[in-house]
Each structure stands twice: as structure tokens, then as C-alpha cells.
């Protein structure tokens, strides 16, 4: 299908532009900041570096070159996949990211699983039942409107500090994944549940549902075997949105639960203006986000052949 | 249920729908939401009328639970939590509403440029929007804060930058629709000057749906602002702000968990009210049933 | 249309309406739901198990060897080289890896460690150390005079980028290897605090073989009771028992190898989380117990709680006497008198941190309790009187005004360096200063700006800092005119007093303890009289261990010593 190939190429090209744009923005930011990164690299306030030490650092990091030269070096390294070295952590940025990727992926996966499950379960139970729907609508609206960090703080207060059911340190295995996943999943589950239920309700009004009922199928069977399939696609189309929410939410939730992870790292890097790390995370997330959206886009096409490329 | 919103807003059809829509009775949700919003706005505008000094310390009365004298209790310095929540309304709303407003303005200009700026300028504007939309909004906001530093004003700017490209896309689509509509084509054929067409026909028809979209988005912006504050990147102490109060409360969860209760409730109720009000507005405007 | 169109309509609008026409017959959602249920079930099952999996131990009278101890600390570190990184965490960890030449045994007394003896000659300029024999580094290199020379040269080498460790031995000129077990160190001038400097972990003796490796491959290799195993950035540092350990310091709990098999330092920055780690058993010990939680730990039998007052400079507020309104001693004293330090500190720290009335902590040698009389302590009426006298009148919004200018003081807030609820204390000070009409502004600044614009650029009126080091020589560090921050010192009040300079220099060079004591006492009086400094509190190392942990001691710097620690039943 040539139009699909062309579209794919176009999307990939756009992704590259996006990554390059993100990197350039981050680089520009790095240079716009008034302070002197050499101080940060030298170990900050306690280190109280001498001028000789600072000069050595400026040479080592090429901070005294003209800005354009620095940009060239930066872009060249980026092309080779080299994100440079962190100012604060004395470690290559790629190493920092690799170290921290695991916990964030685990958190996002846990929250995604929880969020989707919860949404589907709630939708199945409440679709087409006025009372259940009213209650769950209110709950969904509440969870959508509640900041995930408040949910997190309350969960911590109740389940970790009062009841001691869950650990308070973030990276102690599966057990410590539960509360952060819940905090991250709830606001997303709220949206997903609404969408799924509407899909289900539309499906239940369809002639095939009537036919199935006429054939004597139980209500549960109709919901699970027939209607849920119809509700699947709108939910799938939301995956890209949910992914963005998960990534964004991880930043905050990791801080609430003091978990290791990319979000924690990026917040620390923003506070300390550790630009190589900020740049690295931004570039990486732009790349992942765009690529996953391309994959999802292709996936809808596979799932529903009626979808045709639209004029942009 | 009604027509999907994927169809861009069509002023003619909406007007028809409005005139056909039965006059609806007042429903409790939007009324309560409006009442709460009025209260929050009053707190933001005249905090002094509703509460005493939010920075008056009384270390001897620190970490009291809710009770007489201090309705919401006191924080770690013995400051009145209620007073701090009242005074915290202003920065919280400022970040939420201010950034939405700015993002709406910037997005409108940006989207109009994208729709009417021709292949070069318009294309470039929309590619720029694509770049900014390539990563989650909070990361974008974090990047901006990393460059310009923390603080109330900077948080507003950061969230503006994060929201504007999304608005720009909506405005562009809307502007393209309006430009292709029969009455604009008629105006062009009549030989009206382009500036007049832009200001008299296109802008008004783009602004209306943008306003609706913006209202619905205030809640998102308030949460984003509170998130930045929670991370210590928004308004700075001792200025009270809801997100920052929650961050501070996290250190005292074991001693006084109610400290974490009220600021969070303030955020959630405000976001809910703003969303309900926004949807009511949207329903009224587009003649659809508010969800 | 691409999905990111939804970006503008995140939580508020329900994106469902966008794809109403689409329908699928494929059971994607069903499959996804099944997988999701499985994952969640796995999580729940896993979380139902768990719990304490450390081996059970027999109760007994004597120390039991074996086991692993996890100690959770705040903050992280940038380097494991004690000569490079000056942070407290690095000192705490490296103390277990490195032995020092001498050990501090009291406020001003020192005992043998890697040096069995020493001799001072040439008017205090030459130190000759006789070294312990039969000691080897973790990498097998024998400990000799060459190692001492290599370590000291490494510290002062500009390529090392050492600031703090190098500043401790600023007069260091050279070290000469006399023979394998005698080393002679020459100083440029007499320097009494030299032995104390040598006793800190930042000058721990390192393996010359390890120092010869490229910086990127640096591993801390010392002769200490534990050897370095791994460092997971921002997570933990793991150390293992040095079974051949043979060089404990004077006054050590025992001889030979330490009892613990593994010693893990876990980095947990959030106070509440660290405390939770202890109570839930994830860590057997924590540093920096939040004062708000300390009361709960004091009583139960499950934990042992200890409070060690840090010697050296208290947590003080320094008043930049070269800038703006604070050039006037009356304004400085007025600010000092406006702050109810007593009430703030007692309540914020629940009585656990001693209220300070002297720049020096009371556990430091030469601490002079009588200096307190020179301190402008809390007296708002006196503060108002002083401001009136200095010509600052009350303006319309309650703040003092003079020549059309509001009495505004800039106190930069370096958020990354915040600890011990100091930001909360500062908010209290701000509120109290406001009551007498002094406006304190606290711009939040990052590290680069804090150092460049403020500490070096001098654009501040107030700066807060504490500095732990068990010697009164810290007064020279904090108040000698040559020791400004730009010159790697701690004189952030920018004091320029020939009188004070004379006192601190004489005290550092004299060999007569009485003269030194008198000089140090005069400094304490003078800086309080001039209100260059407002003492706030004495930092206290609040540590807590699970009751299973026995044999913990604390060294002169108040670091816990893990050498004698063991796990009981």
C-alpha cells in the first residue's frame, strides 16, 4: 500500500524532526541559563572549587568554545547516540537513563495493567445499568479531577504509615509497586472506564445484541463475548493518550513515593540544572512517544481496515 | 447521545441546535460548581476578607488537628491551614487560569498562522507544534522550568508553552473549516478586504470554540500547576500554594495526616468545579447534553 | 488525524467522542484484560508474601559475626574519592573503607592509628610519623610511607579537583619517605590543626596502586575494616568485611576483623521515607531521623535512638556586614533580637536540637559559654528601639523605611542543600522579622547561581550554614578576613577585622593551649557583639537502629562506627 508507506515515512521524518527539535530546544536552554555549569560539575557548594579546577572543567567539557561549535559537537555526539556526561552524577547520561529505566517501566506497566483492568471491569458491571452508571460516573469524574500526587500522599498516609501494609521505600520489589501503581492508574482508569462503558452501551443497543438475547444468551455472555469486542477499539485509540499520561504521571508519582526512576532523575536534574540529563530524558521520551504513536497508528489500520489515511 | 465532536465546530449548525434545544432546568451539579468557583475566585481576589494572615507563626501551636480556633488545624509552624488555603487560591488559580488564557491567545495566533500563513510559514508553524507535542506536557513544562527557573510566573509560562501547541492545532482545523465555508467564500467573492474577512468572520468563529476548549482545560492546567509546585518548582515558600502545601505535608504524614487532606481537597474540588462549569458552558454553546 | 491531537484535551474532555464510527470484531480488549488481570494478580500474590527473610539468630552474650546491615542515609554522593567529595555521606561511607594516620580521641586529643607515633619539630613545621607495620590495603598493596606520600600528594594535586580535603591541609608543602615505615611531612608554616585534619576520612590513606589508575576507573581502596564492593548511583553503596583487618584505631572496641559480613548504605533522601524504612524493617539503621518522628522511636524496645551533637560551627545565620542596611551594627543586632530562636527551634525540632547561643557548638574545644552575654537575644522591643535609633521608620505596610527604601534583606534559598526542615525554620524567622518591620526575601536559586551570584558575587544579606568539624579552628575558617568563600573559606559574613584575624591566627600557630583558648574566647564574644552571626541550633546526628543492632559507637565527628557492630537476636 504505497499511501501507507508514504505516510509511515512522513511520520518517521516528523519523529526525527521532533527529536532534533527537542534536543535543540534543550541545548538552547542549556546555553540560556545564566549560571556557570562548571560549578555544578565541580561538586557544587561544599566543593568550593578553585579557579584552576574550574578552568580544567571548562576545558574538559568544552564550555569555552563558541556556542555554534558547542552545538556542532553536541549534535554530532547525539547522532552517534552519545548523550554526553551528567554534570552532577559523574556518569554518562546513557548510563543514568539505562539504570533508571527499569523502575519507571515497571511502574508504568503496573499502572497500565491496573488502569485498563479496572476500567474494563467497571464498564462491564455498570454499562446499561442506570444506578451503577450514575455511581461509577461520579467516581470516574472524581478520579479524573484528582491529582495523582494527592492520591499518592493519602495512600501513603493510610496504607504505609497507619496500617504498615506496604513499604514506604519505593524500590523494594513488587510489593512496593502497588501503591504507586494505584496512584498513577486511578486518574487514567477514570477516563478509560467512561470510554469503555460508552462503547459497551452502544454495542448493547446494536441488533446483534438483540439477536443474541433472542437466542437465549445470558446477559453476561453477551457483554463478555460480544459487546466487549466492540468497545475495544475506542479504548485502543486511547492508548497513546494513556501512555503520555503514564509517562507524565510517573514524574510526580516517583517523587511522592521516593521511587527510583526516570521521573525522579529528571526532577532532580531540573532542580540542579543538570542539562545533559534533562536533554537525554527529553530526547528519549520524545523518541519513544513518537514511535509508539506510529505503531499504534499502524495497529488501528490493522484492526480496522476501514480507516484510511486522512488528509492532514 | 449526540454528534461526535470530531466534526469541527460549525457555527451555523450550532446556532440551529441552540435554537432547537429545549430550555433546560437548572441542575444541581453546575450550580454547586459555579458556587464553589465563585468562592475560590473570591478567595483569590480578596483573601484578606476571608482569612487572617497566612504567614503568622505560632510554633507552640504547631501540627494541631482540625478544631475550634483552627478549623482546618495548623501546620508545622503553627500557621492556620485554612488561612493558607484561602491565600493559596490566588497562585493556584493564577497558574491554572493564567496559563490557559495565555496558551489560548498564543494558540489562536499560532493556529491562525498555521491555517492562513501559506505553505512556508503555516507549514513551519504546524511542524513546530508537532515538535512540541512530541513529548508529554509535564516534561515540556519541566524543560521550560529548567531553563527559566522556578517561581509563580515561570510556572505560568511553562504550562503555557506546554498547552499552546494543542490549542494551535484545534484553532488551525477550525480556521480551515471556516475559511472553506460558504459565507467566507461569498465574502471573498464580494471582494471584501482580507483583513476584514479575518477580523469579522474568521476570528469570531474560531474564538468561540477555543473559549469552550479553554474552559474545559482549566482543570488540567490547575493540576499541572499544582504538580509543578508539588515538585518544588512553582510558587516558592513562604507563599502558600496548594501543591506546595501538599509537598510540605508529606514530611508530616505520621504526625498529622489531616495536613495533607485539605490542600488536596481544594485542588480536586476546584478542578471538578471548573470542569463541570466548562462542560455546562460547552453544552449550552454547542447545544449538546452535558456529560 | 494523529492521536496526539488529544494533547490539548487531556483530562477534561472525554476523548471517546473522537472515534465513534470505529468498531472491531477482534478480541484485543479481551486479551488485554486477561493479561492485565494476570499481572495484577501476580502483584497482589507477591505482595501478600514478603516480610523478614533475614536469617534468625541465636541470642547470646558476646558479639556474633555475620549478617548484613543496611543503613539508610539522606543525600547521595558525586564521587567515592574522599579527597574529591567533601559531602558528609562520602565521609560516612569512606570512614569504613579508609583508616587515617591518627585518631581523634577527645575534643583536642589524638591517638595512634596507622601511625604508631609522631614527633613535631622545626617550630611546628615538621611532622615525622612512624607507621604501623604488617598492614595491607584491600588490593594487596602493603601499607608503607610511600602510600602516605601518595595520598597527600593526590589530595593537593590540582588534577584531583579537591577543594575541601586540600583546604584542610593548606600549609602542606611536601612529604618525604624516610624509609618504608617513617614519613616526614613538612608544612609551610606552623599549623596546630594538622593532626585533627589528618584524622578525618577525607584524608584517609589510599592505596597508591589504586590512585595510579585513571580517574574514570577510580575505586576506593584503603586499609579499613570494610572493602568496597559496588556503588549503584543514587541507590546504594555496598561494602564487604575485610577479613584481614589488622589496624583498628586507638580506643577501638576490639581487634581483628569486623563482625558484619556486609554493610550497605542506602540513599533515601526523603525524611519520612527513611523513617518508614526503619520502622518497616527495610533498613536496620537510619541517619537523620526526622525530629517529628524521633519521639516515637525514643520509647519502644524495638529501636535504639541516639542523638550526637555535632562539634564545630552550629547552624548559624551569617549577616553580610559589607552590604546595605546590615553595615549598621544596630540593624544587625535588631535582626538578631527580632528572632525568637528559642521558641522556633524548640517547637520545630521537638526539643531534640539544642538551641544555640554561640557560633560554636558546646561540644567543641574552647567553647566559651559566657560569650552568650554578648548575643542580642530575643527582645522585639529592643529590636524596634534599635531600628528607630538607626533611622528606620515604620512605613505603611508595616515594614521599616529609610530614604524611601524598604528594609529588605536577601536570603537566597538553595533548595538542593536544604535539610533538617531548615526551610521551615527560615519561614519562621521571616515571619518574626516581619513583626518588627524587617522584610526578608528568599529567592530560590540553583547551585550555579548560589555559588556564582551569591556566595562569590556577594549579592546576599543573609546566608545560613552549619559546619561540623571537631576543632575551634573552625572560627578561623568562618571569620578570618582571608577566608571568604571565594578563597575556599567560610567567612560568609565577610568579616574584615584585623583584631579577629590576629586572634585566630595566633591560636592556630601557638603551642600554648591557654593562649589559644583565650583567643578563641575573644572571637566568640566579638562576633556575637557585632552580630555578624545569629546562632540558631546545634545540628544533632539523630540516628536510630533496630534493637537487633548492637555495638554501634560514634567517632569524634559523630559518625556511627560500624567496626564493632553486630546483629543480635
If you measure CA to CA, which chain C residue comes closest to B223? Answer: C11
Rounded Cα distance, C529 and C495, in Å: 13
Considering B270-279, C97-106, C246-255, C444-453, the range whose residues carry the highest mean pLDDT is: C97-106
If you measure CA to CA, which chain C residue comes closest to B150? Answer: C444
Rounded Cα distance, C421 and C6, in Å: 41
Average pLDDT score, chain B: 82
Q: How many contacts, defined by CB atoms under 8 Å, are there between B and C?
A: 119
Residues of A in contact with C292 (CB under 8 A): none
Average pLDDT over residues B90-103: 91
Per-domain boundaries in chain B: 51-285
If you measure CA to CA, which chain C residue comes closest to B79? Answer: C428
B112-116, B138-142, C200-204, range with the lowest pLDDT: B138-142
Rounded Cα distance, C476 and C508, in Å: 8
Residues of C in contact with A196 (CB under 8 A): 29
> In sequence order, what are the residues at sequence separation of 6 or more whose Cβ sits closer than 8 angstroms to the Cβ of residue A50?
C158, C163, C488
Exposure string of A107-145, with b = 16+ CB inside 10 Å and e = fewer, is bbebbbbbbbbbbbbbbbebbbeeeebeebbebbbebbb
- Above 80 in pLDDT, residue C34? no
Question: How many CB atoms neighbour CB B37 within 10 A?
Answer: 18
pLDDT of residue A158: 87
pLDDT band at C497 (very low <50, low <70, confident <90, very high): very high
Percent pLDDT > 90 in chain C is: 58
> Which three three-digit cell numbers place residue C422?
531548615
Alpha helices in A127-177 (DSSP H): 130-145, 148-155
Average pLDDT score, chain C: 85
> Which three three-digit cell numbers place residue B11?
457555527
Q: Which domains does chain A have, with CATH numbers?
A: 17-79 (no CATH), 95-307 (1.10.3720.10)
Rounded Cα distance, C279 and B16, in Å: 66
Q: Are C268 and A42 within 8 A, CB to CB? A: no
A positions 161-190 inside 8 Å of C (CB): 161, 164, 166-175, 177-178, 181, 187
Average pLDDT over residues C408-425: 88
Average pLDDT over residues C421-450: 90
Rounded Cα distance, C372 and C170, in Å: 32
Question: How many CB atoms neighbour CB A205 within 10 A?
Answer: 11
- Above 90 in pLDDT, residue C556? no
Gyration radius of chain A over CA positions: 24
If you measure CA to CA, which chain C residue comes closest to B238? Answer: C427
Closest by CA position to A197, among listed A127, A116, A139: A127
pLDDT of residue B76: 85
pLDDT of residue C16: 36
Q: For residue range C82-92, what is the model confidence (pLDDT) as tens digits?
A: 988 777 888 89
Rounded Cα distance, A166 and A160, in Å: 5
Rounded Cα distance, C241 and C563, in Å: 9
pLDDT of residue C290: 82
Dihedral sign for Cα atoms in the order C350, C356, C361, C367: negative
Helix (H) or strand (E) holding C468: strand C462-468
Q: What is the 3-state secondary structure (H, E, C) of C267-333?
A: ECCCHHHHHHHHHCCCCCEECCCCHHHHHHHHCCCCEEEEEEECCEEEEEEEECCCCHHHHCHHHHH
Task: List beta partners, residue C231.
Answer: C237
Q: Are A233 and A300 in contact (CB under 8 A)?
A: yes
Average pLDDT score, chain A: 81
Separation in Å, CA B190 to CA B117, B197, C146: 22, 11, 96
- Above 80 in pLDDT, residue C61? no
List the chains bordering chain B where 3 or more Cβ pairs fall under 8 Å.
Answer: A, C
Q: For residue range A282-310, what is the model confidence (pLDDT) as tens digits?
A: 888 888 888 887 887 777 777 665 554 44
Q: For residue range C3-18, what is the model confidence (pLDDT) as tens digits?
A: 333 333 333 333 333 3
Q: Are C220 and C96 in contact (CB under 8 A)?
A: no
Gyration radius of chain B over CA positions: 22
pLDDT of residue B131: 76
pLDDT of residue B203: 84
pLDDT of residue A234: 74
What is the distance in angstroms between the Cα of C416 and the nearest Cα belonging to chain A? 7
Report angle CA C458, C459, C464 to the nearest 5 degrees: 75
Considering A12-26, B38-52, C73-87, C313-327, the range whose residues carry the highest mean pLDDT is: C313-327
Average pLDDT over residues C148-176: 88
Report angle CA A249, A252, A257 to the nearest 5 degrees: 115
Q: What ipTM does the predicted assembly reach?
A: 0.85
pLDDT of residue C23: 37
> Which three three-digit cell numbers place residue A86?
551528567
A positions 233-272 inside 8 Å of C (CB): 233-238, 240-241, 244-245, 257-258, 260, 265, 271-272
pLDDT of residue C186: 95
More confident residue, A88 or C523: C523
Q: Are C30 and A228 in contact (CB under 8 A)?
A: yes
pLDDT of residue B21: 47
* DSSP codes joined into one string, A44-88: HHHH---HHHHHHHHHHTTTTS-HHHHHHHHHHHHHTT---B-TT
Helices (runs of H) and strands (runs of E) counted in chain C: 16, 27
- Answer left, alpha or beta for residue A141, where phi above 0 means left and psi between -120 and 50 means alpha: alpha
pLDDT of residue B13: 52
pLDDT of residue C315: 96
- Order across the sheet with C393-394: list the strands: C393-394, C400-402, C405-406
Rounded Cα distance, A190 and C353, in Å: 47
Q: Are B165 and C7 in contact (CB under 8 A)?
A: yes
C28-32, C87-91, C509-513, range with the lowest pLDDT: C28-32
Rounded Cα distance, C100 and B170, in Å: 68
pLDDT band at B50 (very low <50, low <70, confident <90, very high): confident
- Above 80 in pLDDT, residue C138? yes
CATH class of B51-285: mainly alpha
Rounded Cα distance, C375 and C386, in Å: 15
- Above 90 in pLDDT, residue C56? no
- Above 50 in pLDDT, residue B1? no
Rounded Cα distance, C504 and C506, in Å: 6
- Above 90 in pLDDT, residue C522? yes
What are φ and ψ of residue C141, in 5° steps?
A: -65, 135
Exposure string of C500-511, with b = 16+ CB inside 10 Å and e = fewer, is bbebbeebbebe
- SS3 state at B228: helix
Q: What is the 3-state secondary structure (H, E, C) of B2-54?
A: CCCCCCCCCHHHHHHHHHHCCCCCCCHHHHHHHHHHHHHHHHHHCHHHHCCCC
> Which three three-digit cell numbers place residue A261?
526512576
If you measure CA to CA, which chain A residue comes closest to B242? Answer: A150
What is the distance in angstroms between the Cα of C267 and the nearest Cα belonging to chain B? 17
CA trace torsion C221, C226, C230, C235 (10° rounding): -120
More confident residue, A37 or C223: C223
> Which three three-digit cell numbers place residue B164?
499552546
> Which three three-digit cell numbers place residue A61?
567539557
pLDDT of residue B59: 83
A positions 96-155 inside 8 Å of C (CB): 96, 99, 109-110, 112-114, 116-117, 120, 144-145
Percent pLDDT > 70 in chain B is: 89
Closest by CA position to C504, among listed C493, C491, C486: C491
Q: Are B217 and C343 within 8 A, CB to CB? A: no
Q: For residue range C199-245, what is the model confidence (pLDDT) as tens digits?
A: 999 999 999 999 998 887 889 999 999 999 998 777 789 999 999 99
pLDDT of residue C107: 82
Q: What is the 3-state secondary structure (H, E, C) of A248-288?
A: HHHHHHHHHCCCCCHHHHHHHHHHHCCHHHHHHHHHHHHHH
pLDDT band at B102 (very low <50, low <70, confident <90, very high): very high
Task: List beta partners, residue C543.
Answer: C306
pLDDT band at A127 (very low <50, low <70, confident <90, very high): confident
Average pLDDT over residues A174-189: 90
C27-36, C314-323, C467-476, range with the lowest pLDDT: C27-36
- Above 70 in pLDDT, residue B108? yes
Give residue for cell 526539643: C351
Q: Are B136 and A248 within 8 A, CB to CB? A: yes
- Order across the sheet with C172-179: list the strands: C115-121, C126-131, C182-187, C172-179
If you measure CA to CA, which chain C residue comes closest to A161? Answer: C276
The pTM score is 0.78
Rounded Cα distance, B264 and A279, in Å: 32
A54-58, C167-171, C499-503, range with the lowest pLDDT: A54-58
Helix (H) or strand (E) holding C176: strand C172-179
Rounded Cα distance, B67 and B78, in Å: 13
What is the distance in angstroms between the Cα of C341 and the nearest Cα belonging to chain A? 26
Average pLDDT over residues C450-456: 87
C453 touches chain B (CB under 8 A): no
pLDDT of residue C1: 32
What is the distance in angstroms between the Cα of C401 and the nearest Cα belonging to chain B? 21
Q: Are strands C413-414 and C444-445 parallel, antiparallel or unpaired?
A: parallel
Q: For residue range A203-221, what is the model confidence (pLDDT) as tens digits?
A: 888 887 778 888 877 777 7
- Above 70 in pLDDT, residue C26? no
Residues of B in contact with A286 (CB under 8 A): 134-135
Amino acid at each position: 500500500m504505497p499511501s501507507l508507506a508514504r505516510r509511515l515515512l512522513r511520520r518517521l521524518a516528523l519523529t526525527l524532526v521532533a527529536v532534533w527539535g527537542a534536543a535543540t530546544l534543550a541545548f538552547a536552554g542549556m546555553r540560556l541559563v545564566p549560571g556557570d555549569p562548571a560549578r555544578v560539575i565541580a561538586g557544587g557548594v561544599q566543593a568550593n572549587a578553585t579557579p584552576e579546577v574550574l578552568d580544567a572543567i571548562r576545558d574538559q567539557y568544552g564550555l569555552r568554545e563558541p556556542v555554534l561549535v558547542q552545538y556542532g559537537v553536541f549534535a554530532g555526539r547525539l547522532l552517534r547516540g552519545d548523550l554526553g556526561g551528567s554534570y552532577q552524577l559523574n556518569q554518562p547520561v546513557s548510563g543514568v537513563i539505562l539504570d533508571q529505566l527499569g523502575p519507571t517501566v515497571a511502574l508504568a506497566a503496573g499502572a497500565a495493567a491496573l488502569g485498563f483492568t479496572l476500567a474494563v471491569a467497571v464498564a462491564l458491571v455498570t454499562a446499561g445499568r442506570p444506578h451503577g452508571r450514575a455511581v461509577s460516573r461520579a467516581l470516574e469524574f472524581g478520579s479524573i479531577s484528582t491529582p495523582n500526587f494527592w492520591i499518592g500522599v493519602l495512600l501513603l498516609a493510610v496504607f504505609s504509615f497507619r496500617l504498615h501494609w506496604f513499604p514506604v521505600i519505593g524500590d523494594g520489589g513488587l510489593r512496593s509497586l502497588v501503591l504507586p501503581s494505584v496512584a498513577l492508574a486511578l486518574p487514567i482508569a477514570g477516563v478509560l472506564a467512561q470510554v469503555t462503558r460508552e462503547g459497551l452501551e452502544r454495542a448493547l443497543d446494536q441488533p446483534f445484541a438483540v439477536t443474541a438475547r433472542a437466542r437465549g444468551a445470558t446477559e453476561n455472555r453477551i457483554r463478555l463475548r460480544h459487546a466487549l469486542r466492540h468497545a475495544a477499539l475506542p479504548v485502543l485509540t486511547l492508548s497513546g493518550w494513556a501512555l503520555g499520561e503514564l509517562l507524565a504521571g510517573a514524574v510526580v508519582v516517583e517523587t511522592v513515593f521516593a521511587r527510583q526512576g526516570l521521573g525522579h532523575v529528571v526532577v532532580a536534574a531540573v532542580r540542579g540544572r543538570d542539562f545533559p540529563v534533562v536533554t537525554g530524558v527529553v530526547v528519549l521520551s520524545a523518541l519513544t512517544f513518537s514511535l509508539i504513536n506510529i505503531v499504534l497508528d499502524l495497529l488501528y489500520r490493522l484492526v480496522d481496515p476501514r480507516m484510511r489515511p486522512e488528509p492532514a | 447521545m449526540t454528534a461526535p465532536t470530531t466534526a469541527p465546530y460549525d457555527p451555523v449548525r450550532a446556532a440551529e441546535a441552540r435554537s432547537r434545544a429545549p430550555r433546560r432546568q437548572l441542575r444541581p451539579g453546575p450550580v454547586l460548581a459555579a458556587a464553589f468557583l465563585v468562592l475560590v475566585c473570591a478567595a483569590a481576589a480578596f483573601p484578606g476578607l476571608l482569612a487572617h494572615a497566612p504567614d503568622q507563626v505560632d510554633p507552640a501551636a504547631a501540627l494541631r488537628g482540625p478544631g475550634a480556633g483552627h478549623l482546618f488545624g495548623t501546620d508545622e509552624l503553627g500557621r492556620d491551614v485554612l488561612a493558607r488555603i484561602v491565600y493559596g487560591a490566588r497562585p493556584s488559580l493564577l497558574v491554572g487560569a493564567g496559563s490557559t488564557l495565555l496558551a489560548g491567545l498564543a494558540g489562536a495566533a499560532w493556529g491562525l498562522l498555521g491555517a492562513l500563513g501559506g505553505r512556508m510559514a503555516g507549514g513551519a508553524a504546524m511542524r513546530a507544534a508537532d515538535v512540541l507535542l512530541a513529548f508529554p506536557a509535564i516534561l515540556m513544562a519541566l524543560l521550560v522550568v529548567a531553563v527559566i527557573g522556578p517561581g509563580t510566573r515561570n510556572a505560568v509560562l511553562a504550562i503555557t508553552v506546554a498547552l499552546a501547541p494543542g490549542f494551535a492545532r484545534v484553532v488551525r482545523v477550525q480556521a480551515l473549516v471556516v475559511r472553506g465555508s460558504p459565507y467566507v467564500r461569498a465574502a471573498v467573492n464580494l471582494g471584501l478586504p482580507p483583513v476584514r474577512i479575518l477580523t469579522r468572520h474568521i476570528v469570531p468563529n474560531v474564538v468561540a470554540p477555543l473559549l469552550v476548549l479553554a474552559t474545559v482545560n482549566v482543570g488540567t492546567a490547575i493540576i499541572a500547576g499544582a504538580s509543578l509546585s508539588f515538585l518544588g518548582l512553582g510558587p516558592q515558600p513562604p507563599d502558600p500554594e496548594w501543591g506546595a502545601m501538599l509537598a510540605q505535608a508529606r514530611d508530616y504524614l505520621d504526625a498529622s495526616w489531616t495536613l495533607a487532606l485539605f490542600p488536596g481537597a481544594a485542588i480536586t474540588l476546584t478542578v471538578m468545579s471548573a470542569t463541570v462549569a466548562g462542560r455546562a458552558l460547552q453544552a449550552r454553546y454547542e447545544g449538546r447534553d452535558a456529560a | 488525524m494523529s492521536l496526539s491531537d488529544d494533547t490539548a484535551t487531556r483530562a477534561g474532555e472525554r476523548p471517546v467522542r473522537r472515534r465513534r464510527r470505529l468498531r472491531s470484531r477482534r478480541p484485543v480488549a479481551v486479551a488485554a484484560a486477561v493479561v492485565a488481570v494476570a499481572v495484577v494478580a501476580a502483584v497482589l500474590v507477591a505482595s501478600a508474601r514478603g516480610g523478614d527473610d533475614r536469617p534468625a539468630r541465636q541470642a547470646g552474650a558476646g558479639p556474633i559475626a555475620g549478617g548484613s546491615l543496611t543503613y539508610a542515609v539522606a543525600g547521595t554522593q558525586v564521587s567515592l574519592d574522599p579527597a574529591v567529595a567533601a559531602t558528609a555521606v562520602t565521609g560516612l561511607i569512606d570512614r569504613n573503607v579508609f583508616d587515617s594516620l591518627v585518631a581523634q580521641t577527645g575534643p583536642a586529643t589524638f591517638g595512634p592509628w596507622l601511625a604508631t607515633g609522631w614527633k613535631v619539630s622545626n617550630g611546628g613545621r615538621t611532622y615525622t610519623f612512624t607507621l604501623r607495620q604488617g598492614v595491607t590495603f584491600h588490593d594487596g598493596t602493603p601499607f608503607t610511607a610511600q602510600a602516605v606520600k601518595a595520598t597527600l600528594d593526590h589530595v593537593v594535586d590540582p588534577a584531583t579537583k579537591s577543594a575541601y580535603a586540600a583546604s584542610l591541609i593548606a600549609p602542606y608543602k611536601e612529604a618525604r619517605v624516610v624509609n618504608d615505615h617513617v614519613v616526614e611531612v613538612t608544612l609551610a608554616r606552623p599549623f596546630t590543626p594538622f593532626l585533627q585534619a589528618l584524622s578525618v576520612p577525607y584524608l584517609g590513606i589510599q592505596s597508591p596502586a589504586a590512585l595510579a589508575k585513571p580517574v574514570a576507573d577510580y575505586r576506593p581502596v584503603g586499609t579499613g575494616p570494610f572493602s568496597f564492593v559496588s556503588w549503584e548511583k543514587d541507590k546504594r553503596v555496598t561494602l564487604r568485611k575485610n577479613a584481614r583487618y589488622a589496624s583498628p584505631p586507638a580506643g577501638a572496641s576490639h581487634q581483628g576483623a569486623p563482625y558484619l559480613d556486609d554493610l550497605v548504605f542506602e540513599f533515601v533522601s526523603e525524611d519520612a521515607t527513611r523513617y518508614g524504612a526503619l520502622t518497616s524493617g527495610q533498613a536496620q539503621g537510619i541517619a537523620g531521623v526526622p525530629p517529628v518522628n524521633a519521639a516515637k522511636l525514643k520509647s519502644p524496645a524495638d529501636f535504639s535512638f541516639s542523638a550526637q551533637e555535632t562539634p564545630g560551627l552550629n547552624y548559624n545565620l551569617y549577616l553580610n556586614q559589607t552590604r546595605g542596611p546590615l553595615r549598621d551594627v544596630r540593624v544587625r543586632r535588631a535582626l538578631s533580637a527580632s528572632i525568637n530562636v528559642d521558641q522556633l527551634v524548640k517547637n520545630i525540632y521537638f526539643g531534640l536540637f539544642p538551641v544555640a547561643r554561640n557560633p560554636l557548638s558546646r561540644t567543641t574545644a574552647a567553647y566559651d559559654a559566657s560569650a552568650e552575654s554578648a548575643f542580642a537575644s530575643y527582645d522585639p522591643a529592643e529590636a524596634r528601639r534599635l531600628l528607630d535609633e538607626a533611622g528606620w521608620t515604620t512605613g505603611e505596610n508595616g515594614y521599616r523605611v529609610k530614604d524611601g527604601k524598604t528594609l529588605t534583606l536577601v536570603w537566597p534559598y538553595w533548595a538542593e542543600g536544604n535539610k533538617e526542615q531548615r526551610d521551615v525554620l527560615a519561614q519562621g524567622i521571616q515571619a518574626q522579622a516581619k513583626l518588627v518591620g524587617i522584610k526578608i526575601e528568599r529567592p530560590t536559586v540553583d547551585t550555579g547561581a548560589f555559588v556564582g551570584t551569591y556566595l562569590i558575587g556577594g549579592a546576599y544579606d543573609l546566608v545560613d550554614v552549619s559546619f561540623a568539624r571537631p576543632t575551634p579552628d573552625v572560627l578561623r575558617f568562618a571569620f578570618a578576613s582571608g577566608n571568604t568563600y571565594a578563597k575556599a573559606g567560610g567567612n560568609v559574613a565577610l568579616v574584615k577585622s584585623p583584631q579577629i584575624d590576629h586572634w585566630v591566627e595566633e591560636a592556630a600557630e601557638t603551642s600554648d593551649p591557654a593562649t589559644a583558648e583565650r583567643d578563641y574566647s575573644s572571637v566568640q564574644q566579638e562576633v556575637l557583639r557585632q552580630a555578624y552571626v545569629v546562632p540558631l541550633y546545634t545540628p544533632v546526628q539523630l540516628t536510630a537502629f533496630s534493637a537487633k543492632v548492637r555495638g554501634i559507637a560514634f567517632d569524634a565527628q559523630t559518625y556511627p562506627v560500624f567496626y564493632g557492630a553486630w546483629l543480635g537476636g
